[in-house]
Amino acid sequence: MRPLRLLALAALASSQALLKPQPSSFNSTFTLTAAQIAAANLSAAVANNVNVAAQFERSNWATGSVRDDPFYTSLPANASSAAAGAVLKVEAWTDTSRYTVPPTLALSRIVYQSLTLNGTRVPVSAYVLWPYLPRRHRGGAGGRKTAPLVSWGHGTSGLFAECAPSHIRNLWYQFSAPYALALAGYAVVGTDYAGMGVPFFPDGGNITHQYIASPAAGNDLLYAAQAAQAAFPDRLSKEFVVMGHSQGGGAAWAAAQQQLTARVPGYLGTVAGSPVTNPIELTVALGNSLGLLLTAKSFLSVFGELSLSDMLTPAGVAAVNLLDEIQGCNSVFNTLLGDLLAADPRLALTRDEFVSSPYARLFGNLTLAGDRDFAGPMLVLQGTADQNVPEPLTTEYVNKTCAAFPHHELRYVRASAVSHTPVMYATQQIWMDWLDERFGAGVGGGHGRRRDGEGFGRHTGRCIVQEIGSDAPQPLGHYQGGLNYFLEYSLDDYQVA
């Protein structure tokens, strides 16, 4: 299996260290302080579980804390004056030895200028994942060594600076899209979104991540593409597609709306997987509590006159403050909230009446993805068994958008019996073909697959609705339902299987 290792054995023999079983421990000794445990009223069991989840998260930091990494904290002098889409910093080569990226991919990181929801300039970090063999594309003719560019929007990783995919070993979404894209020959610029990664504005103020405010993250997606092209002009295509899933699906859809005014050159279209459309309707559909906890700080960043206690009970405020203080991301969030509610199912963390307040209505209107004009074409992907973004909500917004803007090309693919992140796997052939069509490669098929809407689906103007799953060779219930693997960092050669 690993001949080099065998050949190297003789050389190693004299300096042999004792092997340890993996994992022998996390690479983190994080422990809540007594004051933190008391302030959040945690039982010993909950505190233990939060410690374990935080140690897990921190063990997955490829480059340590973003607060200790000058890449994220030290900005050049032009950071306050540069226009949106400007590149502020380039790390042309990022050492991947502490990441879990597939062989024959390479990594860079950039910091660039984006715009928050109200148009304030904000510095944002992103990774660029490079293919080895660029995929054939229209702009790649004439011997230019450019790779076609996809600007990727990740789903929820958390709310805080430390939740940035660019410093997580598997770049957070791994094979569901960014690894698959890069292995298929695309360069992927993966924004962290404003407030994750780069923690401070140039004046030193904290950047709040405007969670689920899709147009803000949509700006991050568009300007990430523009900045990556500025950073690597000879190596990236002049054209790009925006793509995202979940929070990032909403961001991608909103990017298509923002593009009407942003007009970033080279835009070819959008892929929106399991998109957040109306964040307020989604919060209500999911039963308020978790959604409001995640969104509370985002509300504050939009409506300065609000305070956390307008949205959350004292227990909810304590939970959000603890998460902020310890920079807890998805694992810590889910562990803390799950444990608190398991210990006391009647524990109220949110003031659910807030979702019918004028603030919530206005936030919903300001942040809507869908039922708005957009720069087409767009491909929307949705699983019918999605627990996080219910299929009827996405269908409702596809319907509204198609009815209001029937001249735009919108293709909606519904995957039967497929859940949230797995929809990106179930539909991979569809979005890969769609990307080829956008970039002008392989036009006319040649892959032996059916083309848009051919022989199936419903046409409504230029809207095409397509259902998949009925051709599956096995009964739908036999398919692996969720994502039950995780890419673990290997500490020694014997662990690579």
Ligand X SMILES: *[C@@H]1O[C@H](CO)[C@@H](O)[C@H](O)[C@H]1NC(C)=O
What is the smallest separation between the CB atom of 479 and ligand X, expressed in angstroms? 25
Query: Whole-number minimum distance, CB 123 to ligand X, in Å?
Result: 11
414 and 444 in contact (C-beta within 8 Å)? no
Would you say 392 or 482 has its CB closer to ligand X? 392
Please say whether the beta carbons of 225 and 126 come within 8 A: no
Q: What is the 3-state secondary structure (H, E, C) of 149-205?
A: EEEEECCCCCCCHHHCHHHECCCCCHHHCHHHHHHCCCEEEEECCCCCCCCECCCCC
Judged by beta carbon, residue 365 or residue 429, the one nearer ligand X is: 365
The nearer residue to ligand X, 86 or 380, going by C-beta atoms, is: 86
Q: Which of 308-315's residues contact partners 24+ apart within 8 Å by CB, and which partners?
A: 310/351, 310/354, 310/359, 311/350, 311/351, 311/354, 312/349, 312/350, 312/351, 313/348, 313/349, 313/350, 313/351, 315/41, 315/340, 315/347, 315/348, 315/349
Q: C-beta of 221: minimal distance to ligand X in Å? A: 17
Which is closer to ligand X, CB of 117 or CB of 430?
Answer: 117
Shortest CB 431 distance to ligand X, Å: 22
Helix (H) or strand (E) holding 271: strand 267-273
- Give me the least distance between CB of 460 and ligand X, in Å please: 7
Tokens of 147: 């790779």
Residue with tokens 């509204």: 400
Whichever of 180 and 340 has its CB closer to ligand X, that residue is: 340
- Contact between residue 275 and residue 250 where contact means Cβ atoms under 8 Å apart: yes
If the CB atoms of residues 176 and 191 are measured against ligand X, the closer one turns out to be 191
Query: Nearest distance from residue 46's CB to ligand X, in Å?
Result: 8
66 touches 72 (CB < 8 A): yes
CA distance 82 to 115: 11
Residues 195, 215: Cα–Cα separation, whole Å: 14
Q: How far is the CB of 438 from ligand X (least distance, A)?
A: 26
8 A C-beta contact, residue 420 and residue 478: no
Q: How far is the CB of 445 from ligand X (least distance, A)?
A: 28
Considering beta carbons, is residue 396 or 409 the nearer one to ligand X?
A: 396
359: helix, coil or strand? helix
On the CB side of 207, CA atoms within 13 Å amount to: 32
Residue among 98 and 459 whose Cβ is closer to ligand X: 98
Q: How is the beta sheet containing 106-115 ordered, strand by strand?
A: 87-94, 106-115, 121-130, 187-191, 147-153, 236-245, 267-273, 378-383, 410-415, 463-468, 458-460
- Cβ of residue 76: shortest distance to ligand X, in angstroms? 4
Complex with ligand X: residue 263 or 459, whichever CB lies closer: 459
What's the closest the beta carbon of residue 344 comes to ligand X, in angstroms? 6
Output the smallest distance, CB 411 to ligand X, in A. 15
- The vertex-238 CA angle with 235 and 239, nearest 5°, equals 120
Q: How far is the CB of 288 from ligand X (least distance, A)?
A: 20
3-state secondary structure 95-128: CHHHCCCCCCCEEEEEEEEEECCCCCEEEEEEEE
User: Measuring CA to CA, which residue among 69, 237, 61 is closest to residue 148?
Assistant: 237
Looking at the Cβ atoms of 76 and 287, the one nearer to ligand X is 76
Closest CA to 122 of 157, 88, 171: 88
Nearer to ligand X, 366 or 472 (CB): 366
Q: For ligand X, which is the closer residue by CB, 58 or 245?
A: 58
Residues in contact with ligand X by the rule CB under 6 A = 27, 41, 43, 64, 76, 78, 82, 86-88, 98, 116, 118, 120, 206, 301, 315, 324, 343, 365, 392, 395-396, 399
Structure tokens, 102: 């597939």
Q: Which two tokens stand for residue 95?
A: 């050492």
Burial of residue 288 (CB within 10 Å: 0-12, 13-18, 19+) is middle
